[in-house]
Chains A and B, each alone.
Chain A
Amino acid sequence: MFQQLITFVLQLRADAACDSTVLRQRDRAIGQSLVALRGKPIAQLNAWLQHVARHDTRTLAQQVAHARRVLSLLVLLAGLLAGNGTAALVFYYDGTQPINVLPVLSVFVLLPLVSLVFLGMRAVLGKLIPLLLGRPGLQPSLSLWFAALMALIQRLLPQQYREAMQLMLGWSRAHYRLYGRVHRWSLLTWSQLFALAFMLSAIAWFVFRLSTTDMAFVWSTTLDIEPQTMAAITNSLALPWTHLAPQATIDLDTIRNTRYFRAYHRVVPPDVQAEALGRWWPFVLAAMITYGVVPRLLVLTICLWRQHVALRWCLVHTPGAAEVLDRLNSPIVETAAADAMPPSTYERLTPVPDDRAMPGAPVLLDNSIGSSQAVVITWANVPVRDSDVRQHILQHLDVQVTSIWTAGGATTPEDDQRVLHAAAEALRARSSTPRVLLMLVKAWEPPMLEVVDFLGALRRAIGEGERIVVLPIAMSSQTLASHVYEQQCDIWQRKLATVGDPWLRVQSLPPLVAHPHPGGEAR
């Protein structure tokens, strides 16, 4: 499970660099093949991992898991060595002095019992402290302690494992609140593994010594303890196995006979048969197994189980897991374009450059067309009266309109041809004042290619050198905001810049007061 969690975390990291659409499609395809696992998130995530985990991810996860196993092995080894060393000290017997069972019981029975009590208290307090104090309990300190310990231990690991561990420690530290449960149960598992190895090693040493040496056991204390009290203690301790192994209990006579005082200076107390000194070992062995091994085994099993549960919990709660499950279980609803965006699109998303600065582009005119005469063509039935057009142009451009023609819109292309020729004729008519061709267009309508076509035809009809001024016109009744109008003029200007006509200009005019003209015929 640990390796799966690592693989999962690494896979999520790898996925973070991928496109979300690709991930959604990949995972949904997997999700559809896992319909039977619906409602089982852990099973789904495991199955998902089987599908997506890459070789390098698996390898790295294997290394991390391997490093963790190496750590467990080190802990086991340390426990074995510690147990062996402690047993060698506690069961030291050279034939000159008997072995006092009280230190033996203190180290191999009392100590494990006390540590188990502490463990229980820690578990209870861990839940009570936040409730009582309204603030976190020991968890942050424990997690920091765990991280510090792991940082220290990983220095001892070979290079390949060290790097893998560093990676995971970094991740684990960044999400210590999430992985706190795993940290706690990992620490407890290792502590129980250590304790179990310690006890098993001690028992192994004890059995070895029993088999190879005739050991003498007594009980001795400076305190004033009566044999009856000692018997009560041993009987209480022996309760779990009294019926199973009655030979591993100690009777009062043995306790009386094996009390040892400092004045004896010999192995066998006076008036005691040497055989009585060997009666203690079954009791000691049973006590070590019962209070040293069995509870540890039980707690270790619980820790392993809880660690497994914590790892499963982490798998589902790891940041990104909910998204994976969502991708597996939710249908993909796509509404965006099927094809990839054309590369030019991104370029066009950037602001359009100001064409006025471009060489050859038409520029807004100054008053240079003033004091001249104009032939006017209104394009696409600009809905204004001729009189209004004349007045407006005279007022704002100081230009006398000699004739007005209509083209575009609902008129036919043949009508347009007639307008072209008529306008060209009017423009060529002899006059003392210079003439200009003004073309009124609706500012609110964008320039289409048929306008560009018409302007091209117009140029061919009137010849080069004659000025054509396009006037995008807005009407006050439309209440077009001035900036909108400017934007519309810019659009016209940019479009007509593509014509490449150096005598073609675009000029803005103030909005025209509208008196809609019902017709669209040429005048």
Chain B
Amino acid sequence: MSAPVFVVVGHPNKGKSSIVSTLAQDDRVEIAPDPGTTMHSRGFPMRVDGRVLYTLVDTPGFQRPRDVLRWLQQHETSVVDHPTLVQRFVEQHAGSSLYDAECRLLQPIIAGGGILYVVDGSVPFGSEYEPEMEILRWTGRSSMALINPIGQERYIEQWEAALGQYFKIVRVFNAMTAEFEKRLELLRAFGQLREDWRQPMEVAVADLVNERTRQRHRAADAIARMLIEMMTLTVAKTIPPQADAKAYYDVLEEEYKQKLRDLERTSRDQVQGIYQHYQIQREDAAAALVNSVVEGDLFAQETWRLFGQTKWRLAMLGAASGATVGGIVDASVGGASVLLGTVLGATVGGAMGWYAAEWSSNFRLLTLPGMDVLGLSGKCVQCGPTTNRNLPYVALGRARWHHRLIARRTHAQRHVIRLDPGQPQAGGMPPLEEREERTLEHLFGRIRRAAGSERVWDMVEELRIVVQQVLEHDEQA
């Protein structure tokens, strides 16, 4: 049995390519306001390991539907022959420039494709659509109408009334804003067009859900690695034996911060690639997103205010973490310490959380004994790893925000990523759950202690699991 084929047809500029772009998760589909942008039919097969489960076909819009309908009516002999007549029309006019668009859009339908007729629900119904719908009815194929409100959903009811006369199934689907679940619903609905299409569409939906989970897994992995890289990053510079190390602090600190920014940029590129958003990178390079917090500097004060933890929160988390360690000591001495360990641990942890909230670079002077004998400098200034407790929270907050934008963004969207200034703090991001926060604080502490050692990479998987949970919650929120 051949895989189902869905042919997306309609008036020019009604969002056919947007729907295909969103469902095919392909942001390289050409979308432009000018009619006739799509000049050829183009297949978008959904394949799993090469096996095609279904194919979407993007087509050019109707250009001379009244002429086509007139031809069909002139040659009509019986209602039974309608599909054959459409086929005859295509055979006779294929290759002619006059009905090029109509031939190209009708060919895959004649070949057995289901019809997805797309209209714009933000503009009123007009009688010029009737010839198109009539032609499609003549093809005798299974069909569905999709109302894609490109602007405000003002004329949905009017369209539903009109389309209901030609199509058994009419659905509203906004290609620009449809979230993943909505897309899956639509694909399931495609399966209702024909009984034998239901099962392959169910399989396709299941595969897409699995792939979505894998994408989140990969994104979480990229973010976890970025966090570890950031927390353990060091920048070192060998200096002459007699040189004053402090003279190198400014240069080294700037290099250090730049590397942190680069790490974030690399991680974002990875996340965008994972979700197959390739065009955003081009936009990033060209656009000056000065006002966007997402694109704002990692070290900007506003960024830290939006995405970081407050001093009090860090102190509390530090206290909780310290109390846990102290509690273990108390338990190990059978309570003989009269909870002194817990109290001491909480105090020290809280104080460390409070004082380590502000950004400050951490410099060390390394001396390598014996190097001068070998003719090498034995002094090395090192910046990092950071002791700042807020950096991983700020970086994670920004990564969560970016991930949510990317994961929710449909592939039909072509605008640059921008933070909506009307949105509340941190772009309306849900706060971390208490349990997630505690786990993260614990993990961040372990990573800080293991900084400089390869043991930190053993923690990638642990951190990835927590980050993945957070990303899942963000998407659901």
A409-B449 contact in complex given A148-B368, A352-B34, C-beta closer than 8 Å: no
Q: Verify B35–A448 contact, CB threshold 8 A.
A: yes
Interface segment out of the listed B206-214, B402-410, B424-432: B206-214
Contact of A409 among B35, B64, B126, B154 (CB under 8 A): B126
Determine whether A450 belongs to the interface, using a CB cutoff of 8 Å to chain B: yes
Q: In chain B, residues 321-380, which have Cβ atoms closer than 8 Å to a Cβ of chain A?
A: 366, 368, 371, 374, 376, 380
Q: Verify A135–B454 contact, CB threshold 8 A.
A: no
Give 1 or 0 for each of B203-228: 1 = CB within 8 Å of chain A CB: 00001101100100010010001000
Determine whether B157 belongs to the interface, using a CB cutoff of 8 Å to chain A: no
Contacts of B40 in A (CB 8 A): 342
Q: Verify B48–A332 contact, CB threshold 8 A.
A: yes
Determine whether A484 belongs to the interface, using a CB cutoff of 8 Å to chain B: yes
Give 1 or 0 for each of B17-57: 1 = CB within 8 Å of chain A CB: 00000011110111011110100101111111110000000
- In the complex, how many angstroms separate the beta carbon of A255 from the nearest chain B beta carbon? 41
Q: In chain B, residues 5-24, which have Cβ atoms closer than 8 Å to a Cβ of chain A?
A: 11-13, 23-24
User: Which of A148, A335, A381 neighbours the largest number of chain B CB atoms within 10 Å of its CB?
Assistant: A335
A333-B208 contact in complex given A148-B368, A348-B30, A453-B64, C-beta closer than 8 Å: yes
Instruction: Identify the closest chain B residue to A349 (Cβ).
Output: B30
Contact of A449 among B45, B63, B128 (CB under 8 A): B63
Contact of A336 among B26, B207, B376 (CB under 8 A): B26
Contacts of B25 in A (CB 8 A): 335-336
User: Which of A326, A339, A409, A494 neighbours the largest number of chain B CB atoms within 10 Å of its CB?
Assistant: A409
Distance between Cα atoms of A135 and B24 in the complex (Å): 49
Q: Verify A335–B123 contact, CB threshold 8 A.
A: no
Contacts of B34 in A (CB 8 A): 352, 446, 491, 494-495
Contacts of B67 in A (CB 8 A): 413, 450
Q: Verify A339–B42 contact, CB threshold 8 A.
A: yes
A177-B456 contact in complex given A337-B24, A342-B40, A381-B128, C-beta closer than 8 Å: yes
Contact of A141 among B126, B368, B454 (CB under 8 A): B368
- In the complex, how many angstroms separate the beta carbon of B408 from the nearest chain A beta carbon? 17
Give 1 or 0 for each of A289-308: 1 = CB within 8 Å of chain B CB: 00000000000000000000
Determine whether A145 belongs to the interface, using a CB cutoff of 8 Å to chain B: yes
Q: Verify B127–A334 contact, CB threshold 8 A.
A: no
- In the complex, how many angstroms separate the beta carbon of A15 from the nearest chain B beta carbon? 14
Q: Verify A134–B449 contact, CB threshold 8 A.
A: yes
- In the complex, how many angstroms separate the beta carbon of A220 from the nearest chain B beta carbon? 35
Q: Verify A181–B454 contact, CB threshold 8 A.
A: yes
Give 1 or 0 for each of A319-353: 1 = CB within 8 Å of chain B CB: 10010001000111111111101100100110010
Contacts of B46 in A (CB 8 A): 333-335
Determine whether A211 belongs to the interface, using a CB cutoff of 8 Å to chain B: no
Contacts of A446 in B (CB 8 A): 11-13, 34-35, 61
Contacts of A494 in B (CB 8 A): 34
Determine whether A180 belongs to the interface, using a CB cutoff of 8 Å to chain B: yes
Number of interface residues of A (CB under 8 A): 69
Distance between Cα atoms of A323 and B70 in the complex (Å): 57
Determine whether A408 belongs to the interface, using a CB cutoff of 8 Å to chain B: yes
Q: Verify A336–B28 contact, CB threshold 8 A.
A: yes
Number of interface residues of B (CB under 8 A): 75
A28-B452 contact in complex given A491-B34, A495-B34, C-beta closer than 8 Å: no
Determine whether A434 belongs to the interface, using a CB cutoff of 8 Å to chain B: no
Contact of B33 among A140, A453, A491 (CB under 8 A): A491
A335-B232 contact in complex given A380-B127, A449-B64, C-beta closer than 8 Å: no
Give 1 or 0 for each of B231-251: 1 = CB within 8 Å of chain A CB: 010101000000000000000
Q: In chain B, residues 58-97, which have Cβ atoms closer than 8 Å to a Cβ of chain A?
A: 61-67, 70
Distance between Cα atoms of A337 and B42 in the complex (Å): 7
Q: Verify A137–B48 contact, CB threshold 8 A.
A: no
Determine whether B450 belongs to the interface, using a CB cutoff of 8 Å to chain A: yes
Determine whether A317 belongs to the interface, using a CB cutoff of 8 Å to chain B: yes
Contacts of B312 in A (CB 8 A): none
A339-B33 contact in complex given A179-B454, A453-B64, C-beta closer than 8 Å: no
Q: Verify A130–B30 contact, CB threshold 8 A.
A: no
Q: Verify A20–B454 contact, CB threshold 8 A.
A: no
Determine whether A410 belongs to the interface, using a CB cutoff of 8 Å to chain B: yes
Determine whether A371 belongs to the interface, using a CB cutoff of 8 Å to chain B: no
A333-B26 contact in complex given A409-B128, A484-B151, C-beta closer than 8 Å: no
Contacts of B457 in A (CB 8 A): 177-178, 317
Determine whether B124 belongs to the interface, using a CB cutoff of 8 Å to chain A: yes
Distance between Cα atoms of A144 and B29 in the complex (Å): 50
Q: In chain B, residues 238-275, which have Cβ atoms closer than 8 Å to a Cβ of chain A?
A: 273
- In the complex, how many angstroms separate the beta carbon of A199 from the nearest chain B beta carbon? 24
Give 1 or 0 for each of A440-473: 1 = CB within 8 Å of chain B CB: 0010111111100100000000000000000000
Q: Verify A337–B29 contact, CB threshold 8 A.
A: yes
Determine whether A72 belongs to the interface, using a CB cutoff of 8 Å to chain B: no
Instruction: Identify the closest chain A residue to B56 (Cβ).
Output: A335
Contacts of A447 in B (CB 8 A): 35
A177-B452 contact in complex given A140-B234, A380-B127, C-beta closer than 8 Å: yes
Distance between Cα atoms of A424 and B181 in the complex (Å): 56
User: Which of A130, A144, A448 neighbours the largest number of chain B CB atoms within 10 Å of its CB?
Assistant: A448
- In the complex, how many angstroms separate the beta carbon of A58 from the nearest chain B beta carbon? 26
Contact of A450 among B32, B64, B124 (CB under 8 A): B64
A136-B211 contact in complex given A333-B46, A349-B30, A448-B62, C-beta closer than 8 Å: no
Contacts of B439 in A (CB 8 A): none
Instruction: Identify the closest chain A residue to B32 (Cβ).
Output: A348
A322-B221 contact in complex given A331-B207, A520-B127, C-beta closer than 8 Å: yes
Contacts of A139 in B (CB 8 A): 452-454
Instruction: Identify the closest chain A residue to B282 (Cβ).
Output: A349
Q: Verify A331–B48 contact, CB threshold 8 A.
A: yes
Determine whether B177 belongs to the interface, using a CB cutoff of 8 Å to chain A: no
Distance between Cα atoms of A141 and B371 in the complex (Å): 12
Determine whether A33 belongs to the interface, using a CB cutoff of 8 Å to chain B: no
Determine whether B390 belongs to the interface, using a CB cutoff of 8 Å to chain A: no
Contacts of A339 in B (CB 8 A): 42-43
Contacts of A337 in B (CB 8 A): 24, 26, 28-29, 42-44
Give 1 or 0 for each of B143-179: 1 = CB within 8 Å of chain A CB: 0000000011010000000000000000000000000
Distance between Cα atoms of A480 and B65 in the complex (Å): 27
Contact of A180 among B33, B236, B454 (CB under 8 A): B454
Q: Verify A136–B385 contact, CB threshold 8 A.
A: yes
Contacts of A123 in B (CB 8 A): none
A409-B63 contact in complex given A336-B44, A352-B34, C-beta closer than 8 Å: no
Contacts of A141 in B (CB 8 A): 366, 368
Q: Verify A478–B127 contact, CB threshold 8 A.
A: no
Q: Verify A448–B42 contact, CB threshold 8 A.
A: no
Determine whether A152 belongs to the interface, using a CB cutoff of 8 Å to chain B: yes
Determine whether B139 belongs to the interface, using a CB cutoff of 8 Å to chain A: no
Instruction: Identify the closest chain B residue to A140 (Cβ).
Output: B452
Q: Verify B454–A178 contact, CB threshold 8 A.
A: yes
- In the complex, how many angstroms separate the beta carbon of B203 from the nearest chain A beta carbon? 12
Distance between Cα atoms of A220 and B233 in the complex (Å): 57
Q: In chain A, residues 111-140, which have Cβ atoms closer than 8 Å to a Cβ of chain B?
A: 130-131, 134-137, 139-140
Distance between Cα atoms of A331 and B49 in the complex (Å): 6
Distance between Cα atoms of A135 and B66 in the complex (Å): 78
Distance between Cα atoms of A3 and B140 in the complex (Å): 64
Determine whether A273 belongs to the interface, using a CB cutoff of 8 Å to chain B: no
Distance between Cα atoms of A213 and B342 in the complex (Å): 72
Distance between Cα atoms of A309 and B33 in the complex (Å): 59
Distance between Cα atoms of A151 and B127 in the complex (Å): 80
Q: List 8 A-B contacts (CB under 8 A).
A: A139-B453, A337-B42, A338-B43, A352-B34, A408-B128, A410-B128, A442-B126, A448-B11
Residues of B within 8 A of A (CB): 11-13, 23-26, 28-30, 32-35, 37, 40, 42-50, 61-67, 70, 101, 123-124, 126-128, 130-131, 151-152, 154, 207-208, 210-211, 214, 218, 221, 225, 232, 234, 236, 273, 276, 366, 368, 371, 374, 376, 380, 382, 385, 448-454, 456-457, 460
By Cβ-Cβ distance, the 10 closest A-B pairs, closest first, are A136-B452, A410-B127, A446-B35, A449-B63, A336-B26, A333-B211, A446-B13, A444-B123, A380-B128, A409-B127
